[in-house]
Amino acid sequence: MRRRPVGIVPAARGELALIDTIRRRVASSSARALSLGIGDDCALLRFRSGEEAAVTTDLSIEGRHFLRNLHPPEAIGHRALARGLSDLAAMGARPVAAFLSLGLPPELTHTPGRRNRAWIDRFLDGFLPLADQHKIPLAGGDLAQAPIALADIVLIGAVPRGAALLRSGALPGDVIYVTGSLGGSASGLRRLQSAPRTLSDRELASHLWPQPRVAQGLWLARHSAASAAIDISDGLSTDLNHLCEESHVSAEIASSRLPIFLGASLEEALNGGEDYELLFTAPPSSRIPRRISGVPVRAIGIVVKKFKSGSHAVLVDLSGGKKPLQPRGWEHFQP
Amino acid sequence: MRRRPVGIVPAARGELALIDTIRRRVASSSARALSLGIGDDCALLRFRSGEEAAVTTDLSIEGRHFLRNLHPPEAIGHRALARGLSDLAAMGARPVAAFLSLGLPPELTHTPGRRNRAWIDRFLDGFLPLADQHKIPLAGGDLAQAPIALADIVLIGAVPRGAALLRSGALPGDVIYVTGSLGGSASGLRRLQSAPRTLSDRELASHLWPQPRVAQGLWLARHSAASAAIDISDGLSTDLNHLCEESHVSAEIASSRLPIFLGASLEEALNGGEDYELLFTAPPSSRIPRRISGVPVRAIGIVVKKFKSGSHAVLVDLSGGKKPLQPRGWEHFQP
């Protein structure tokens, strides 16, 4: 009998075999809200009486949101799901189900040898544990061949009618808060790009394994504590600008109050993006704890009347000097 | 005053400007189910009491599902939405809202001159009228730069609990039906590829402007008339195979009964794909009309006990001869 060569043993899988692989891996997850999962034309979901469905979609595209030679497939899977969960967190919604559309070059579905796992399997190794952590099933999606790797994640959540946290409710006088710390993802990416082999996982965790603030969003919605909220996916400067636009207000941020990630620069904290923290506003009468579910919450500024011109926000330094805080975060589409 | 040159006047738009464009174009649509649309972290949807949510996602990728030099952008937009609506139709679900994630090369967002519209605007020119026709809002999505054009469409529908048409309910003895005709899309594509300039829209309509059978699916669900259903997106042979697998049955199809599109071959009718007709089964006692909402319905075969080996279906010719009907339709992921 000839020995099977160790090394490159492409074991390509067609669409149905791939779907079967995924279906088997998610079969163990139990989800009461899911009446019907992978395997039919649609999935079927049930909501509790008096609930609204919250829906969000987020694209992750190779070369734009991740680099295959830099990011481990597990982290790409984790981050794709984290982006969607963070949107639900920003609405104060309870995660119900995830859907995943994957476009993949054929080589990413091949098993490159007995000791190695295929890219798509490693992607799921990062995706599925985060889904389990938030008790949501992967309920469906689509698979197609593509010249680059891409993932579109759809998250469905549930929130009691009228309780969702919106971007549009901030009023002058409200206090501006942020969870966790800022700039960690951008500084982690910088360090990953400069010296990938010398860094421990811990140092890169906020870039590779961001933790969406689902519990914190749920707390805020349940206590009707926040007047407006958004998640920081594109950078504080840009997401604060979105919140101000939707609320027709402006903002003053105290630079000394910013919870800058240890090792990150002020620039990274303001414009870095991908921190997936919550930025929210609350009236001064609202009692916001210093920690919610173990995550620090920091007051960083106040909402003011809409400025007549210029940017929506200013950064105030220790001496009281103000300078415009332009939205310089991530633009997914650069002209 | 200098006259503005006619011709290439690139008017690039960033992400926010693009979102604004889309938001303005969908602002007019009124949808009672949509509590909150484009502009927040999630959209919010309401369902009627006793309803389940049906969710489906479908990728359309340049080079795989469409060719930019062959397909008008309007048809690409129409077809992307039609794919998702067809999945809802196959469940008997009422369309509620659409979400669209678009990855685009920068040049597709440029306006190539005063007399021409940008690719993305023409894509929406095809997408939005079909959404209006089915009374659903474009409620959200994502935009990102990508080296190729791609669209992931998410459709949310609603169906009374327990009333959804599943792939898994077919029983031996049930009659197999199909709506409309088969092979039209494949023959239209063949003709588009061979002589694009000599064809009228009418000849290519079933390829470029497929009409998802939403009304027919709703009729079947409302009358509890079907035991199982699937839409024909990958070709009769492949989708019949899916239905048989999920129902643990086999099928006999009478080749003489197939409603082959005028100009299409038997091969195109069996394996062509993208017809977006409904394939469904019903007990012999079920009264299935010859037309549902104006679309012909044809009995094409019967469900039988699961074959012990080989394929899930056979094709029966006029003399009673049987040959295996292998699933030779579209595979989105070829190994």
* pTM for the full predicted model: 0.91
Cα-only R_g, chain A: 21
pLDDT at position B5, please? 33
- Residues of chain A with Cβ-Cβ distance to B9 below 8 Å are none
B181 and B318: one domain? yes
Q: For A216-232, what is each residue's pLDDT tens digit?
A: 999 999 999 999 999 99
Candidates B12, B18, B103; nearest CB to A59: B103
- From the list B117, B196, B171, B154, the residue with the least C-alpha distance to B286 is B171
- Residues of chain B with Cβ-Cβ distance to A146 below 8 Å are 59, 61, 64, 148, 150
A156 and A252: one domain? no
The answer to whether B303 and B230 are in contact (CB under 8 A) is no
Name the residue in chain A with its Cα closest to that of B37. Answer: A55
Q: For B1-53, what is each residue's pLDDT tens digit?
A: 333 333 223 344 677 777 777 877 876 555 678 888 888 899 999 999 899 99
The answer to whether the Cβ–Cβ distance between B335 and A147 falls below 8 Å is no
A21 and A130: one domain? yes
Candidates B15, B139, B154; nearest CB to A333: B15
B233 and B268: one domain? yes
The answer to whether the Cβ–Cβ distance between A56 and B64 falls below 8 Å is no
pLDDT at position B95, please? 97
Candidates A141, A167, A334; nearest CB to B57: A141
Q: Between helices A119-133 and A73-91, what is the axis angle to 10°?
A: 30
The answer to whether A57 and A70 are in contact (CB under 8 A) is no
Mean pLDDT for the stretch of residues B289-317: 95
Residue B331 lies in a domain: no
Which of B107, B333, B334 should one mutate to test binding to chain A, selecting the residue with the greatest count of A CBs within 10 A?
B333
Name the residue in chain B with its Cα closest to that of A142. Answer: B58
Last residue of a domain, one of A125, A160, A195: A160
pLDDT at position A197, please? 60
A105 and A245: one domain? no
Candidates A17, A44, A52; nearest CB to B45: A52
- B16-20, B76-80, B142-146: lowest mean pLDDT where? B16-20
The answer to whether the Cβ–Cβ distance between A144 and B61 falls below 8 Å is yes
Residue carrying the six token digits 């969960």: A85
pLDDT at position B252, please? 97
The answer to whether the Cβ–Cβ distance between B334 and A14 falls below 8 Å is yes
B230 and B299: one domain? yes
pLDDT at position A5, please? 33
Residue B63 lies in a domain: yes
Provide DSSP, B203-226: HHHHHHS----HHHHHHHHHTT--
The answer to whether A324 and A313 are in contact (CB under 8 A) is yes
Which residue type is seen at A82? A
pLDDT at position A259, please? 98
The answer to whether the Cβ–Cβ distance between B166 and A40 falls below 8 Å is yes
B74 and B203: one domain? no
Reply yes or no on whether the pLDDT at B236 is more than 80: yes
The enclosing domain of A221 has a CATH number of: 3.90.650.10
CA distance B318 to chain A (A): 33
Residue B169 lies in a domain: no
- Residues of chain B with Cβ-Cβ distance to A106 below 8 Å are 333-335
The answer to whether the Cβ–Cβ distance between B333 and A104 falls below 8 Å is yes
Last residue of a domain, one of B160, B193, B220: B160
Please state, rounded to an integer, the average pLDDT across all residues of chain A. Answer: 89
- Residues of chain A with Cβ-Cβ distance to B14 below 8 Å are 331, 333-335
User: What ipTM goes with this model?
Assistant: 0.89
User: What share of chain B has pLDDT > 70, as a percent?
Assistant: 90
Cα A124 to the center of its chain, rounded Å: 16
Reply yes or no on whether the pLDDT at A335 is more than 60: no
Name the residue in chain B with its Cα closest to that of A108. Answer: B335
- In the structure, what pLDDT confidence band is assigned to residue B333 with cuts at 50, 70 and 90? low
B25 and B134: one domain? yes
Cα A255 to the center of its chain, rounded Å: 24
B37 and B136: one domain? yes
Name the residue in chain A with its Cα closest to that of B49. Answer: A49
Decide which of A135 and A23 is more confident. A135
- In the structure, what pLDDT confidence band is assigned to residue B270 with cuts at 50, 70 and 90? very high
Please state, rounded to an integer, the average pLDDT across all residues of chain B. Answer: 89
Name the residue in chain A with its Cα closest to that of B163. Answer: A44
Say how many domains are in chain B. 2
Q: Between helices A184-194 and A201-208, what is the axis angle to 10°?
A: 120
pLDDT at position B4, please? 34
Candidates A63, A145, A230; nearest CB to B334: A145
CA distance A276 to chain B (A): 12
Reply yes or no on whether the pLDDT at A192 is more than 90: no
Last residue of a domain, one of B95, B125, B160: B160
pLDDT at position A6, please? 32
Residue A37 lies in a domain: yes
Provide DSSP, A196-252: GGG--HHHHHHHHS----HHHHHHHHHTT--SEEEEESS-HHHHHHHHHHHHT-EEE
Residue A3 lies in a domain: no
Q: For B154-209, what is each residue's pLDDT tens digit?
A: 999 999 999 999 999 999 999 999 999 999 999 988 888 886 566 666 668 889 99
Number of A:B CB contacts under 8 A?
A: 241
Residue A319: φ, ψ to 5°: -85, 5
B320 and B196: one domain? yes
- Residues of chain B with Cβ-Cβ distance to A214 below 8 Å are none
Residue B167 lies in a domain: no
Rounded distance, CA A181 to CA B187, Å?
58
The answer to whether B8 and B112 are in contact (CB under 8 A) is yes
The answer to whether the Cβ–Cβ distance between B55 and A45 falls below 8 Å is yes
CA distance B320 to chain A (A): 32
Residue B250 lies in a domain: yes
B33 and B115: one domain? yes
H and E: helices and strands count for chain B: 8, 14
Rounded distance, CA A98 to CA A84, Å?
9
* Parent domain of B258: 175-324
A102 and A209: one domain? no
Residue A152 lies in a domain: yes
The enclosing domain of B84 has a CATH number of: 3.30.1330.10
